[in-house]
Amino acid sequence: MSRKSFNPDCDVREWTGAQRPYDILKEGAIALLVVALLTAGLALVFGSPDEKQVTIQQWSSADPVDFAATAYSELAGTSGIAGYGAPYNNASDGQFLGVTHLYLAKMVGVHIPIDPARTFVLQPLGTLPDAPTLRFALSTWKNASETQRGAWLDEYAKASLSFSHGHLTAAPLSLSNPVNELIASETAMARSGALDSTMGTGGGLYTTDYTNVLLFIADGGWFATLADHQHLLGDQWGMMNETGSYPGQAWLWLYTFWYQIHPFSTSGNADVDAWGIMMLLTAGLILVPYIPGLRSIPRRTKLYRVIWRDHYAGRV
């Protein structure tokens, strides 16, 4: 290039000066050995976390009332997933991206359809054999009008839930109200462990997809309490954290940072906004060599003088 257009942040005159012996393969072999030893040592000294998975069975045993309340919210359509929107359903518009007002998820549409009342309550209950009372409650529910269902749900919501001797009771409740039978059966089913396997996506013996079970567990309050104890909640910078005292995904610091500050900490669009910002910043990182100003920082900060101090001191 001509002398005139030489930009010190982009261009160099290739090196024609002195060379020195440098065995890159030996360097690589030593590096590999050191990293292998370090890995083996760290793994031996610190191990790795493996906090046991939780099941619907544990949840319904540890906190049957929270479980029942969650099952009720799925039936009533008031749960988190019931109001989620895309990709699960059309219940809400979801989040929109910053100033653009683009509802990205809604634009892509519903691809993992979930009707909470059916997926989380009615369908699993329908698989229970030899349960005449439950059968009757299910068909009563199925044949009832929307208004009738609403009245039953309202009545159930006003009743007080209690759990004793392995039984969930809601009182007071009229005898014709099937909701209690549905929720109590669901609780019994959960406590037996049957709900964990019935809810696997794909309907059958094999599954590698736990979308339904996980969404259901996450709709309850119990799961978040466990995470709170482990300091994993979003407003605890939990994304970076690991169970126990292990280091976690520290490299997510900037992503989780946005959730902690205004306006994102209180915004309903925090997720999509944080993603939008991170995409922009990542693009910025990738394109540093092309961004005037940013690419001048190394030359301006002069940290390179330390790196190449031997060269500048003429010691090479």
Partner 1 sequence: MSDILGALVNLDHPGHYISWGWFQMSYGNFAVVVAMVATFLVALVAPFPGRQKEKRS
Partner 2 sequence: MSTTIDRQWTTRLRRRLVEQLPPDKALPDTQPSYVSSWIYVFGIVTLSALVMVILTGFVLAIRGPQWWHQSAIGHYVNSLHLWSVEIFFFAMVIHLWGKFFMAAWRGHRSLTWVTGAVTFATSIATAFTGYVSQTNFDSQWISTQAKDGINATGAGAFFNVLNTGQMLMWHIVLLPLAAVVLTAVHVVMVRRKGVVPPFEEVTK
CA 269 to chain centre: 15
Residue 314 CA to residue 273 CA, distance in Å, equals 51
Q: Which residues contact 126 (CB under 8 A, 6 or more apart)?
A: 138
Residue 107 CA to residue 114 CA, distance in Å, equals 17
User: Least distance (Å) from partner 2 to the CB of residue 127?
Assistant: 21
Q: Does 46 bind partner 2 (CB under 8 A)?
A: yes
Q: Which stretch binds partner 2 (CB under 8 A): 134-142, 157-165, 181-189, 303-311?
A: 303-311
Number of residues in contact with partner 2 under rule CB under 8 A? 105
User: Least distance (Å) from partner 1 to the CB of residue 215?
Assistant: 27
Q: Does 118 bind partner 2 (CB under 8 A)?
A: no
Which of partner 2, partner 1, none interacts with 260 (beta carbon under 5 to 8 A by kind)? partner 1
Which residues, in sequence order, are bridge partners of residue 164?
A: 167
User: Least distance (Å) from partner 2 to the CB of residue 308?
Assistant: 4
Q: Does 291 bind partner 2 (CB under 8 A)?
A: no
Q: Which stretch binds partner 2 (CB under 8 A): 106-114, 140-148, 161-169, 181-189?
A: 106-114
Residue 83 CA to residue 81 CA, distance in Å, equals 5
Q: Which is nearer to partner 2, 44 or 171 (CB)?
A: 44
Which of partner 2, partner 1, none interacts with 53 (beta carbon under 5 to 8 A by kind)? partner 2
Q: What is the footprint of partner 2 within residues 131-170 (CB under 8 A)? A: none
The number of beta carbons lying within 10 Å of the beta carbon of residue 122 is 18
Which of partner 1, partner 2, none interacts with 275 (beta carbon under 5 to 8 A by kind)? partner 2
Of 155, 226, 236, 257, the one binding partner 2 (CB under 8 A) is 226
Which of partner 1, partner 2, none interacts with 77 (beta carbon under 5 to 8 A by kind)? none
Q: Which is nearer to partner 1, 4 or 26 (CB)?
A: 26
Q: Which stretch binds partner 2 (CB under 8 A): 68-76, 146-154, 179-187, 278-286?
A: 278-286
Residue 9 CA to residue 289 CA, distance in Å, equals 8
Q: Does 50 bind partner 2 (CB under 8 A)?
A: yes
Footprint of partner 1 (CB under 8 A)? 18-20, 44-49, 229-231, 236-237, 240-242, 244-248, 250, 253, 260-261, 303, 306-307, 310, 315-316
Q: Does 235 bind partner 2 (CB under 8 A)?
A: no
Residue 217 CA to residue 224 CA, distance in Å, equals 9
Q: Which stretch binds partner 2 (CB under 8 A): 64-72, 126-134, 143-151, 226-234?
A: 226-234
**CB contact at 8 A, 64 and 191:** yes
Which residues, in sequence order, are bridge partners of residue 112?
A: none
Which of 281, 282, 285, 275 minimizes the C-alpha distance to 102? Answer: 275
The DSSP letter of residue 169 is: E
DSSP string, 174-222: -TT--HHHHHHHHHHHHHHTHHHHHTSTTSSS-----HHHHHHHHHSSH
Q: Which residues contact 274 (CB under 8 A, 6 or more apart)?
A: 255, 258, 259, 264
Residue 245 CA to residue 145 CA, distance in Å, equals 53
Q: Which is nearer to partner 2, 139 or 281 (CB)?
A: 281
Residue 181 CA to residue 183 CA, distance in Å, equals 6
Of 61, 128, 234, 277, the one binding partner 2 (CB under 8 A) is 234
Q: Does 266 bind partner 2 (CB under 8 A)?
A: no
Q: Which is nearer to partner 1, 47 or 268 (CB)?
A: 47
